[in-house]
Amino acid sequence: MEILNYAFMQRALLAAVLVGITAPAVGIYLVQRRQALMGDGIGHVAMTGVGLGFLLTWSPVWMATLVSVLGAVFMELVRWYARTRGDIALAMLFYGGMAGGVMFINLAPGGSTTNLSSFLFGSLSTVSESDVTAICLLAAFVVLITVGLRRQLFAVSQDEEFARVTGLPVRFLNLLTAITAAVTVSVAMRVVGLLLVSALMVVPVAAAQQLTRSFAATFAIAVAIGVSATLGGTVTSYYQDVPPGATIVLLTIATFIALTLLATPLTRRRARALAAAQGGGDPAECAIPAGRKERDEVGA
């Protein structure tokens, strides 16, 4: 294939695969915790890290990782200790992150907001070898956490009180989830962009949930959708000269719409089959209420 003859496209495709794996892998926990927009907030904070990277002539990816991790930790602290006015603190953090990124990159020698655009919306030609090395290391960390601790993270995401009763370190796991999300933002910013990374965390998971409700199946399908979208968007961007981040996000949304249209008649058919089966079973006055039946089964 012609596309593989160019070193910059080889790097871009590798980065795209890693982003397609890591973003949904973290996003499934954020969706369960009803924190779907956390990635968007961290992306705003990471802009300050990118600007500092240019100002200090250090790797923007590593600096963005450091700053976004600190921002994620602050977000968790606000969630724990400042519930009443936490939204104001988070708003200042997000807006301050955007403003700091613009300010620092303009103070950098030869810097301008033009340098920031590739990090905001993604760029294929700017993925360097050092970026690929950083992305590989960060992606390995994300996969290790999201797969190795999947049972604990899922338990905390589903019910914090139950997880606490069973002896799980809830606060530590919540903090680890936030840090992993921050690292994922840094992994994805070169391909998708800081402003669009949240969509790649959430939409593949939402699309997978149209087909299944089990955690393992949702995880696998979401990652498959993420990888397919990132690769498809990257290849389309090369041949059609369109922005990679926007193309990837639009492909994920199109996948969500297609799976929703596919799943709707299947869901209705299953509901009719279930209603028919129940109609031929016990009389209504003898039927066991669903909630009570589930509790009896758990108790048994």
- Rounded (10°) CA dihedral 28, 67, 19, 136: -120
- pLDDT at 111 > cutoff 70: no
Residue-level pLDDT at 85: 60
Both tokens assigned to 221: 């399908």
- 93 neighbors 73 (Cβ within 8 angstroms): no
Out of 20-29, 41-50, 74-83, which region has the weakest mean confidence (pLDDT)?
74-83
Out of 11-15, 118-122, 151-155, 206-210, which region has the weakest mean confidence (pLDDT)?
118-122
**The residue type at 23:** A
- pLDDT at 116 > cutoff 70: yes
Q: Please count the residues of the chain.
A: 300
Mean pLDDT of 169-194: 90
Nearest to 137 by CA among 55, 286, 15: 15
Residue-level pLDDT at 290: 45
Tens-place pLDDT, residues 202-260 = 999 999 998 887 889 999 999 999 999 999 999 998 888 888 889 999 999 999 999 99
How does DSSP classify residue 108? S
- 234 neighbors 17 (Cβ within 8 angstroms): no
Both tokens assigned to 113: 């907001």
Q: Rg for the chain (alpha carbons), in Å?
A: 22
Q: How confident is the model at residue 263 (pLDDT cuts 50, 70, 90)?
A: confident
Nearest to 13 by CA among 233, 253, 239, 247: 233
Residue-level pLDDT at 257: 94
Residue-level pLDDT at 300: 39
| pTM, rounded to two decimals | 0.82
Both tokens assigned to 273: 């089959």
How does DSSP classify residue 281? S
CA distance 208 to 222: 5
Tens-place pLDDT, residues 129-140 = 888 898 999 999
